[in-house]
Structure 1
Amino acid sequence: MHKFEEITTHTKEIFQGKIIQLKVDNVTLPDGNTSKREIIKHPGAVAIIALTDEGNIVLVEQYRKALEKSLVEIPAGKLEEGEDPQTTAKRELEEETGYTTDNLQLINTFYTSPGFADELVHLYFTDHLQKMHSSPDGDEDEFVELMELSLKDCEQLEQQQRIHDAKTSYALLYLKLRGLK
């Protein structure tokens, strides 16, 4: 046993949704005491840093009900069961932006909120975009607006908290460190 490991003694399933599962685990702590952990199970997601030939960042604006406001974000989406993350990334790029690519580079993977969720995001990069001849059908309950902005414009949106999510902030920091102007 690892010195910080918590041993699950009982799990209670609370909710099974279309995207997430919520459970409460009773755990024994490393010091022998017990506690409860509320955990969200998530299938994982992808996000794509996509640059146009002009060096603009491809983004989408969409309403986020949990926040009761719209955010500007890099394209992203949920992994389907058994789907390869790179396949998901290409699909989501196409569905949300009308662009496609055959050149996706995995940048990193990261957990979004490890204190209560197991969602793992696979972050990809491409600067080899092709505009699709016809726009694919997106998700029926997803409404997005395509944006192509400079890094400077994105930084202004961050100041206004219109870009205000971790994956997009991570992406912009990555681009700054790469020297994008």
Structure 2
Amino acid sequence: MKNLEEKTIREETIFKGRVVSLAVADVRLPNGETGKRELVRHPGAVAIIPLTHDGKIVMVEQYRKPLEKTVVEIPAGKMEQGEQREKTALRELEEETGYKASGLDLLTSFYTAPGFADEILHIFVAKGLRQQKNSLALDEDEFINVIEVTLEEAKQLIEEESICDAKTMYAIQYLELQHLKEESN
């Protein structure tokens, strides 16, 4: 079995923003040669699958500048420095949707684009949703519409490409599999 590890010789941060930083690394390759790697550094994020008591999925509609379009997604957000992922999930759920959850179940965690970024995304299922009258405020540069959709409506939104991001498509697939599992029992 070949050793595939690349040893970092030097790394320089060339940009540090609010959400990500960009570094360039010189690495020693497994064959002894050197190479360069562009690395996006991210503090990690959470996403939440919030289900209402009648089985609807609470989603957010938001304009995404990199895509130059409005998309529908499950609520999600960046982890703050030192913040526990469950706390981030509860905060983001309330900020973005106005709902509080009585509990969270961690569904999975995965790296979003390991070829160039270290962002890890933790997906939770929210339990016991309660609509809040006075919920946490959105970030000052965040504009969101909250919608509730059935699983069938969510699948249609995928067909229409209104849902087009991996975390939300993963969530819909998970819910579809849960639905099929319940039907077979």
Corresponding residue of 1:147? 147
CA RMSD of aligned residues (A): 1.3
In 2, the alpha carbon distance for the partners of 1:127 and 1:87 equals 14
Is 1:121 paired with 2:83?
no
In 2, the alpha carbon distance for the partners of 1:61 and 1:135 equals 18
Contact 2:93 2:100 in 1 (8 A): yes
Corresponding residue of 2:63? 63
Report how far residue 34 of structure 1 moved: 1.4
Alignment of 1:11-90 (within 5 A): 11-90=11-90
Structure 1 portions without partners, runs of 5+: none
Structure 2 portions without partners, runs of 5+: none
Corresponding residue of 2:109? 109
Count of residue correspondences: 180
Contact 1:48 1:123 in 2 (8 A): yes
Corresponding residue of 1:133? 133
In 1, the alpha carbon distance for the partners of 2:15 and 2:116 equals 15
TM value normalised by structure 1: 0.96
Q: Percent identity?
A: 52
Contact 2:28 2:34 in 1 (8 A): yes
> Tell me, what secondary structure is at the counterpart of 1:179?
helix
Letter in 2 for 1:65: K
After the TM superposition, which segments of 4 or more aligned residues of structure 1 sit over 4 Å from their partners? Answer: none
Corresponding residue of 2:92? 92
In 1, the alpha carbon distance for the partners of 2:99 and 2:19 equals 25
In 2, the alpha carbon distance for the partners of 1:150 and 1:33 equals 54
In 2, the alpha carbon distance for the partners of 1:17 and 1:10 equals 21
Contact 1:53 1:127 in 2 (8 A): no
> Tell me, what secondary structure is at the counterpart of 1:81?
coil
Cα deviation digits, residues 102-124 of structure 1 (max 9, x gap): 21011110110000000001100
> Tell me, what secondary structure is at the counterpart of 2:4?
coil
